[in-house]
Amino acid sequence: MSMNDRAFLRHTLATLAYRAGKTLRGASPALADARLQPGAKSPVEILAHMGDLFDWALSMAVGKPKWGTATPQSWEAECARFFAALQAFDDALASDRPIATETTQLFQGPIADALTHTGQIAMIRRLTGEPVKGESYNRADIQIGRVGSEQSAPDPRYEFD
């Protein structure tokens, strides 16, 4: 099966939503401000940056590139903001409007960065005693267009510690 660039980007966003959702769900309130060392970004600061990435991605896609750095809010607010920004970007990709920048730039910039940051938050969870179970992600129920916080439950047959 072959996908066009839009479909591939949208599948990547759905994959990110699945992985980020699994990483963010069930985190204790203490995780938001955990720092592995002085000066390191906390998970809530990383998550705020992830929201910034998708605000930027949307601005690039519509031809008005603009970077903004939001002041981190509460964990719950940043989770909601991240998924809302992801949804807005996915909606733009799902439309018939032209994409005003190269799809490769959208992937290698904001999307790849957010995948990295999802891993950072997962690592911080593990190091602070709140590990997220790994899984065979190639078997996950990932659907193009499903980019909100509500995702399919992992199949326990494919999860591991």
pLDDT digits (tens, 9 = 90+) for 54-75: 999 999 999 999 999 999 999 9
Q: With a cut of 70, say whether residue 21 has pLDDT above it.
A: yes
Q: Looking at residue 161, what is its pLDDT?
A: 85
Query: What is the extent of the structural domain holding 127?
Result: 18-27+41-151
Q: How far apart are CA 135 and CA 64, in angstroms?
A: 38
Q: How far apart are CA 15 and CA 143, in angstroms?
A: 8
Count of structural domains within the chain: 1
Banded model confidence at residue 53, pLDDT cuts 50, 70, 90 = very high
Q: Does residue 161 fall inside a structural domain?
A: no
Share of the chain above pLDDT 90, in %: 96
Q: Does residue 135 fall inside a structural domain?
A: yes
Q: Does residue 122 fall inside a structural domain?
A: yes
Q: Looking at residue 89, what is its pLDDT?
A: 98
Q: With a cut of 80, say whether residue 1 has pLDDT above it.
A: no
Q: With a cut of 90, say whether residue 3 has pLDDT above it.
A: no
Banded model confidence at residue 42, pLDDT cuts 50, 70, 90 = very high
Q: Does residue 117 fall inside a structural domain?
A: yes
Return the half-sphere exposure (C-beta side, CA atoms, 13 A cut-off) of residue 66: 6
Q: Does residue 5 fall inside a structural domain?
A: no
Which pTM does this prediction carry?
0.96
Q: Does residue 54 fall inside a structural domain?
A: yes
Mean pLDDT, residues 40-51 taken together: 98
pLDDT digits (tens, 9 = 90+) for 87-141: 999 999 999 999 999 999 999 999 999 999 999 999 999 999 999 999 999 999 9
Question: Over the Cα atoms of the chain, what is R_g?
Answer: 16
Q: Does residue 33 fall inside a structural domain?
A: no
Q: Does residue 13 fall inside a structural domain?
A: no
